[in-house]
Chain A
Amino acid sequence: MAAILQRTVRLRAALRPLCPHSTLTCTARLSPADVHSPFLACGSGQFVASTRKLHVEPKSSPDGAPERLPFSKVTEEDLAYFRKILAGRTITDPDLLESSNVDWLKTVKGSSEVLLRPQTTEEVSQILSYCNSRNLAVNPQGGNTGLVGGSVPVYDEIILSTSLMNNILTFDNISGILTCQAGCVLENLSLYLEERDYIMPLDLGAKGSCQIGGNVATNAGGLRLLRYGSLHGTVLGLEVVLADGRVLDCLATLRKDNTGYDLKQLFIGSEGTLGVITAVSILCPRKPKSTNVVFLGCETFEELLKTFQLCRGMLGEILSAFEFLDSECMRLLNTHLKLPNPITDCPFYIVIETSGSDQDHDSQKLDNFLEKAMASTLVTDGTVATEQSKIKDLWSMRERVTEALTHDGFTYKYDISLPVERIYQLVTDMRQHLGDRAKSVVGYGHVGDGNLHLNITSPAKDPALLAAIEPFVYEWTASCQGSISAEHGLGLKKRNYIYYSKPSQAVALMGNIKAMLDPKGILNPYKTLPDDLK
């Protein structure tokens, strides 16, 4: 116990100088009560929360679970009510609940005993109205592909799954505006649109499982953000069910509508804490007639950045993606997924995608760019793909790095926004800082958007390694005024680090908004907002 209290004190001290942006002191309060929490909390590592576990090793850290808030527990009466409104779609079987209780990375586990699968907005409204009156906590869940533990319960929150809300409502092929229910899987929407000569404005590796409601709730970025912008721009309307069951119908399909406050922006990126998104209307771009993917190799990061500038200049209007990965990523792809390197081994690799309306024009622009890049030796090797099958192969070199990492060991994931020219410096500094304490340290990501995915692996979860990584990585990020979570969100794992990137006045205002929209705090508790706000 003494050791734990010592650690708590040390962590508290470490967290004290947490606010680089404001003169107000802010503290992440780790109350002694945390020490008695019945949860195994080992940083962003294996975190198992279970009210049924007998042995408890209380260990608190900023991303460990907070104490269970005094929500009601589910009773037989509650189950009877749910079964009445959702016949056959109220799941209580522990085996079926298992996968919804664990996140995709298998690092966070809840102990929910009820999974609800509504099919309509009306059912969601009834569920929330009931839960609000009964003070039952609710965890909205889409595809459960989130990477910050925001999509699974911490304790026994009721899981509200949108998986059965998968209808496409309307599609206007003149304006390109699509409306659909929140549970539509992104890849299915893409396939639907592609048949009609359109595409979704976002694309990510998790497309086969993630749902549009979840994408909107986390303001997902992805591979096309460079070209089509963020969901804050492409989402035209939302239908949201509020904590008390009220249905907020802002499902407009208008490109321009300046009538009052733009409420939907609040919910985009709110990670299910302000309301449950039940339907989305989104502006979709035309499917490009000509797509090319180029895979290039560079010797240094400086040359990579110069290639980016050259690319922007010569391919600007047809550029739709600019991603990078380092040689360590390539090593993992080769080793764990047996994917061969399309070109010779280089320290850095770039994936460039162009999308345009005319194959001949785009080929011309691309050829000019490639000749220039090779002639100026900014690029040492590369290959081009115009055929669908080859394009898929080249994209998988970037898209499957996440998967390759899961085979390398326990992964510590950091999704950081930095000034573009400093992106790789963090990776180099981290490697130096960790020495041989880590198995692999890799960097990859949306370099075009200034977004680095820094990943570190170790054979098994290692609290000492974690202590070396954090808060080093957050302090480094804060020192460049970067974001400690560029696109993954805060969820459970990063909620207490919000102060590294937002001033406390902003966080306080977020708390006010939360209190106004969800006074009982039943929507996705323990997530997104820091513990010291409660």
Chain B
Amino acid sequence: MSGRVLVGVKRVIDYAVKIRVKPDNSGVVTDGVKHSMNPFCEIAVEEAVKLKEKKLIKEVVAVSCGPQQSQETIRTALAMGADRGIHVEVAGKDYETLGPLQVSKIMAALAKKEDAQLLILGKQAIDDDCNQTGQMTAALLDWPQGTFASEVSLDGDKVKVVREIDGGLETIKISTPAVLTADLRLNTPRYATLPNIMKAKKKKIANVKPADLGVDLTSRLEVLKVEEPPQREAGVKVETVEDLVGKLKETGRI
């Protein structure tokens, strides 16, 4: 086994930022807005780095698809302990229509090219909430998948994954190479320490174009409209129980 783990990291709008819809309802405002690494991708990087620290794998490679700024996200992964990065350049119109299908094609190509033993992704991105990339990539590669992972343990050429499912927890054993997607409780991502941040500056980030990987970025989806959810209305205080019943009847609740 190559002992190499690929981790996909996505640059998204920081979760603490207040999202605003563009006036033409074509999307959300991203210009000048704080971006950061998708929280589930952070968990994925942390898991990969942990595996390396346990000496179960040899190299962690962070991958991100996007414009120039995606390199910052890769740097964060490097500061957390990834060894090198791959920036797949996607900009402009292509970036606007970049979705799970295109990304999984890219990830599949890279996984083969890098001879990855594992591909770890976040379970979903907090901007589109698709929860599709990991599953699609596994299908394209015809690899087993351990999604919504809350616990991962390597055992020779097999991986034991505890998955969070609706009914509780499901434990599966899959063979490598495999795709894993990280769920919230898999781990707590570390703060990147200063010495590692300094070291990260010297680590390499390779530049790759989707065409070099033989990937066609054409999207089959078109976003028609983006709208804000209905404004939450202020509550109303009433004086008596009769008033309460009256109001409930008024609004058709009872």
Contacts and interface: CB of A to CB of B under 8 A. Distances in A.
Interface of A: 289, 295-296, 340, 342-344, 367, 370-371, 374, 379, 381-390, 392
B17 A374 contact: no
Interface in B179-206: 188, 191-195, 197-198, 201
Contacts of B192: 383-384
A344 B196 CA distance: 13
B35 to A, nearest CB: 8
A392 B194 contact: no
B155 to A, nearest CB: 29
B16 A383 contact: no
A388 B198 contact: no
> Which 8 A-B residue pairings sit nearest by Cβ, starting from the closest?
A387-B36, A388-B16, A382-B194, A383-B191, A342-B191, A389-B16, A388-B14, A387-B14
Contacts of A344: 193
30 contacts: A289-B32, A296-B194, A344-B193, A370-B194, A371-B198, A374-B198, A379-B194, A381-B194, A381-B195, A383-B191, A383-B193, A383-B194, A383-B197, A384-B192, A384-B194, A384-B197, A385-B191, A386-B36, A387-B14, A387-B16, A387-B36, A387-B37, A388-B14, A388-B16, A388-B17, A388-B36, A389-B15, A389-B16, A390-B191, A392-B16
Contacts of B188: 340
Interface string B191-225: 11111011001000000000000000000000000
A105 B193 CA distance: 36
B247 interface: no
B22 interface: no
B194 A387 contact: no
A381 B201 CA distance: 17
A411 B39 CA distance: 37
B243 to A, nearest CB: 16
Interface residues of B, number: 19
Nearest to B13: A388
B214 to A, nearest CB: 34
A343 B191 contact: yes
A277 B25 CA distance: 45
A343 B198 contact: no
Nearest to B15: A389
Contacts of A296: 194
Contacts of A390: 36, 191
B34 interface: yes
Nearest to B32: A289
B109 to A, nearest CB: 30
B34 A343 contact: no
B104 to A, nearest CB: 26
A56 B217 CA distance: 82
A394 to B, nearest CB: 8
Nearest to A296: B194
B194 A374 contact: yes
Contacts of B32: 289
Contacts of B17: 388
Contacts of B15: 389
Contacts of A392: 16
B180 to A, nearest CB: 24
